[in-house]
Amino acid sequence: MMSFAGLGLFLFGMTLLELALKDAAGRGFKEIIKKSTNTVPKAIFSGAFATAILQSSSVVSLIVLSLVGAGIIALKSGIGVVFGANIGTTATAWIVAYLGFEMDIEAFVLPAVGIGGLMVAFFRDSPGLKAAGKIVMGFGLLFLGLGYMKSGMSGFSKVDIGTYSSHGTLIFVLVGMAITAVIQSSSATTAIALTALGTGLIDFTMAAAMVIGANVGTTVTAMLGALGGTPDKKRVAAAHFLFNMTTGIIALILLRYLTTFLLTGLGLERDEVIGLAAFHTLFNVMGVLMLSPFIPGLTRLLSARFKRKEKSIAHFIDKVTTEIPEAAIMALRNEVLHLFRMAMQFSLLVINVRPSDVLKHRMHTDQVLRRNHGILNVPYEEVYREMKRLDARIITFATSISAEELATAEVKQVDNALRATRKIAEGAKTMKDIRQDMDDFVVDDTPFVIRAYRHFRERMIRLVRNIGRLVDGEDAQAATIERIFLDIERDNDSAIYSLAKALKRGEIDDTSAATLINVNHSLYRTSRLFLEVVRLLLGYRIVKPRT
């Protein structure tokens, strides 16, 4: 039972540490990966570095899946980062082996938990210090759990594990795979193997086999993250699995020779725990050195294996012919409305809100913000490219309609559809340009910026919800569109007034003020463009209020 409790503390400490490091780093690791992957060696190094710092190859793998899926980094670079992540994840084994077994951890574990907890409690309003407290507390809980695991496993010292060795080392490989697949952490499985080895419960060969299994088992996370994703995401996950499986098979074949080299050749037979950490690093480095020359070929193989199933981006215009203008114009209008819905969904993604919460479930704004409080991990670029493709398809189709003999009213309908399409594209581009600013606001700890970010999100949520009701036919007539217009004008005036006061009082600096002014203008411009689309497509008149 003590070992079970220790495993729980170890996993909780690792999770707390991982989340705190991610919060403290902000988008830094994504930027490192994006900027440092133009060559395979740099991609491998970036993957190793990011994983060693984040203490989680699974997190790095999921980040890479999202970046490759969005087309931000190339598939070849993504595979290189995943290869490097396997080296970086071995840093955890060294930390656990050295600090957990070579030092008296009791002297610092409990103080670390206490200090970290106090920092989290007393520095709630300081994201930096709060994250530091979580890091300290995470390390403390991690090694406290390790201590419990060591004490618990020492009670099994009389159990003859040697009886299982008759099944061969493969049984311990499968155990390592199973544990990792269940708890989703190869580092935790490695810690279990280190602890079992350190307490004499298993021998070095058994522990090494468990570590090999853990390396293979960790690919489950990446494969789950790729389910239903783009072909590139599936290719990276497949590369991750192939690398770890191939490396594991090679390590298993060479296990006896690697064991002799480490324990006898390097003299680690008296310190097998350190030897196991060295084994973990050695076979992963060997795997990278042996397989990295094959990355270009692997990229070509996976590109041929996982192909994108092309489907029409259009929902309506591909089903009709322009030779029947009446049907073609109706399909054109519906397709532009489809593009409009995509643009509204994209605008919500830019402000880090799931579109379904607003457009489908119609949640209250406060509930939406509670459910969507971080940075969404979505392929913005791919969504935007889909809109551009549909935009081009609509323009081509509308041009084909114009070549037919049309009545005056039909000419006007086609013209309105084209004008609406241009305004939708302009609004989406305006939102795309402020996406990075919106993400920056998430990690900004300036009180006024935090309030402004919430206000910006509330504005867009309210706008999209109200326009969505109009488009779906839930609300009608001029009263609704008048209210939307008044909301847009009032929100813009209120934001400008608040910004001016905050700048005068010194609550924000000039740089932050310029960014906020730009974002406010972009939101106002997009709102007016979207409202103009409603006028063009649905025929509402926008009557400006008298001043």
- Most confident of the following: 144-148, 218-222, 418-422: 418-422
290 contacts 282 by C-beta, under 8 angstroms: no
What is 359-394 written as a DSSP string? IIS---HHHHHHH--S-----HHHHHHHHHHHHHHH
Which domains are seen in the chain, by residue range? 2-305 (no CATH), 317-538 (1.20.58.220)
- Phi, psi (5° rounding) for residue 459? -60, -50
Question: pLDDT value at position 543?
Answer: 47
Q: Which residues contact 511 (CB under 8 A, 6 or more apart)?
A: none
Report the run of H or E that residue 403 belongs to, with start and end.
none
Q: pLDDT tens across 420-444, in order?
A: 999 999 999 999 999 999 989 988 8
3-state secondary structure of 509: coil
pLDDT at 391 over 90: yes
pTM above 0.75, yes or no: no
pLDDT at 337 over 60: yes
Region 525-530: mean pLDDT is 94
Cα–Cα distance measured from residue 267 to residue 261, given in angstroms and rounded to the nearest whole number: 9
96 contacts 146 by C-beta, under 8 angstroms: yes
- Phi, psi (5° rounding) for residue 359? -85, -30
- Tell how far CA 111 is from the center of its chain: 34
pLDDT, the chain, mean: 79
Instruction: Tell me the one-letter amino acid at 137.
Output: M
Region 290-296: mean pLDDT is 88
Q: Specify burial of residue 31 (Cβ count, 10 A radius: 0-12, 13-18, 19+).
A: exposed
**CA angle (215, 282, 275) in 5-degree steps:** 95
Q: pLDDT tens across 440-453, in order?
A: 998 888 999 999 99
Question: pLDDT value at position 31?
Answer: 58
pLDDT at 162 over 60: no
Cα–Cα distance measured from residue 223 to residue 80, given in angstroms and rounded to the nearest whole number: 17
Classify each residue of 193-230 as buried b or exposed e, where b means 16 or more C-beta atoms within 10 Å of its C-beta.
bbbbbbbebbbbebbbbbbbbbbbbbbbbbeebbeebb
